[in-house]
């Protein structure tokens, strides 16, 4: 308290100047319309700028929550989309009643670990058995195919990435609908894959898109990539087509785990087939 009083007495002229200046400023603003309007407009501008900066910081702080909310909404929209679409084919013209039931459900998950430079790469997600994740489910991102669920714990799961030597996914060419097996490229480039087992009489163009065929764990029509090189002989009567993968594995953040609710029924039916028949 003594030190405060010493400071006040030492700089009393400065403090008196501040008091009188403030009083004079108040009187001028109060008794003059022009000055009052100028001060009000200036203060509104300053307050508005302050609120703008505060809101920008708030938006940044809540960005992760907004992303999670958008991912949940995208998952719901993917399920709803199944209710209004049918296979694009001239042979199959039957649309299942999916108003109360859809074949594919989507579980939003966040990537907690990811590798892209190994011969066999894996991804860890923050969802597990508790959230309905099961071994063998497909995993996609907003831009394409990610991989297949390999191991599951209560709260986490690991995914065998598309960037894995043993991952094979059924995919088809956009124009001809010819399908083959999508595998990772031989040069371990996380941007490049290979579509194998395409008959060599099929015409393939550079830039042609590649989609999932629907014959594997994934719904049909999920983008896989685009053709960047054609005419590579795969031996016998088949082609190996070099494609640029649509999924950006180096910055993978959120994914969707695909649950095929009819998978068990399909597997049970196909298990009855007599291989020796």
Q: In the Cβ-directed half-sphere of 161, how many Cα atoms lie within 13 Å? A: 28
Q: What is d(CA 113, CA 121) in angstroms, rounded to the nearest whole number?
A: 11
pLDDT at 210: 94
Residue 208 has pLDDT above 80, yes or no: yes
pLDDT at position 97, please? 41
For residue 276, pLDDT beyond 60: no
Per-residue pLDDT, 168: 94
CA-to-CA separations, 187 to 56, 182, 224, 232, 234, in angstroms, rounded: 44, 15, 18, 15, 16
- Give the list of residues 6+ apart from residue 131 with CB closer than 8 angstroms, or none: 107, 109, 155
Q: Place 94 in a pLDDT band, splitting at 50, 70 and 90.
A: very low
Q: Averaging pLDDT over each range in 45-59, 67-81, 236-250, which range is the top one?
A: 236-250
Q: What is the pLDDT of residue 89?
A: 39
Which residues partner with 149 through β-bridges?
Answer: 159
Q: Of 137, 135, 128, 124, give the one whose Cα is nearest residue 155.
A: 128
163, 182 in Cβ contact below 8 A? no
pLDDT greater at residue 230 or residue 198: 198
Q: Reply yes or no on whether the pLDDT at 62 is more than 70.
A: no
Region 90-117: what's the mean pLDDT?
67
Selection from 268, 216, 221 nearest residue 246 by Cα: 221
Taking residues 91-105, report their average pLDDT: 52
Report the run of H or E that residue 223 belongs to, with start and end.
strand 223-233
CA 90, distance to chain mean position in Å, is 33
The per-residue pLDDT for 236 is 67
From the options 3.90.1170.50, 2.40.37.10, 2.40.128.30, 2.40.10.340, give the CATH code of 103-261.
2.40.10.340
Please return the burial class of 7, using the count of CB atoms within 10 Å of its CB with bins 0-12, 13-18 and 19+: exposed
Average pLDDT over residues 122-129: 92
Quick check: 112 and 124 in contact, CB under 8 A? yes
Q: Which of 185, 168, 164, 184 is nearest to 119 (CA)?
A: 164
Res. 98: pLDDT tops 50: no
H or E element, residue 243: strand 238-245
Question: Would you place residue 43 in the very low, low, confident or very high pLDDT band (cuts 50, 70, 90)?
Answer: low
Query: Which regions of 49-187 does DSSP assign to beta strands (E)?
Result: 104-114, 120-125, 138-140, 145-152, 157-164, 169-173, 179-184
Domain boundaries, the chain: 2-61, 103-261
Q: Kindly state the tokens that stand for 6.
A: 């010493």
Ordered DSSP codes for 194-221: EEEEEETTS---TT-EEEE-SSSSSPTT
Residue 198 has pLDDT above 80, yes or no: yes
228 CB-near residues (< 8 Å, 6+ apart)? 192, 206, 242, 243, 244
How far apart CA 49 and CA 152 sit, in angstroms, is: 49
């Amino acid at each position: 308290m003594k030190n405060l009083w010493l400071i006040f007495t030492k700089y009393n002229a400065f403090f008196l100047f501040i008091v009188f200046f403030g009083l004079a400023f108040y009187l001028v603003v109060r008794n003059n319309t022009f000055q009052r309007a100028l001060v009000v407009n200036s203060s509104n501008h300053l307050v508005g700028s302050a609120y703008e900066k505060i809101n920008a910081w708030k938006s940044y702080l809540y960005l992760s929550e907004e992303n999670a909310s958008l991912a949940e909404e995208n998952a719901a929209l993917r399920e709803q989309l199944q209710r209004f679409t049918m296979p694009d084919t001239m042979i199959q013209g039957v649309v299942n009643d999916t108003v109360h039931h859809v074949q594919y459900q989507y579980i939003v998950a966040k990537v907690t670990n990811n590798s892209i430079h190994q011969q066999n790469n894996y991804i860890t997600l923050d969802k597990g058995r508790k959230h309905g994740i099961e071994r063998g489910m497909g995993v996609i991102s907003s831009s394409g195919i990610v991989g297949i669920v390999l191991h599951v714990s209560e709260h986490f799961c690991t995914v065998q990435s598309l960037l894995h030597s043993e991952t094979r996914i059924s995919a088809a060419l956009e124009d001809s609908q010819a399908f083959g097996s999508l595998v990772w490229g031989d040069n371990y480039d996380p941007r490049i894959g290979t579509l194998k087992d395409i008959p060599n009489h099929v015409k393939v163009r550079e830039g042609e898109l590649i989609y999932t065929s629907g014959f594997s764990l994934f719904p049909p029509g999920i983008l896989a990539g685009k053709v960047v090189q054609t005419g590579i002989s795969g031996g016998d009567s088949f082609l190996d087509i070099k494609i640029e993968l649509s999924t950006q594995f180096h910055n993978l953040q959120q994914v969707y785990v695909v649950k095929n609710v009819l998978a068990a029924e399909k597997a049970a039916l196909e298990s009855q087939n007599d291989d020796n028949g």
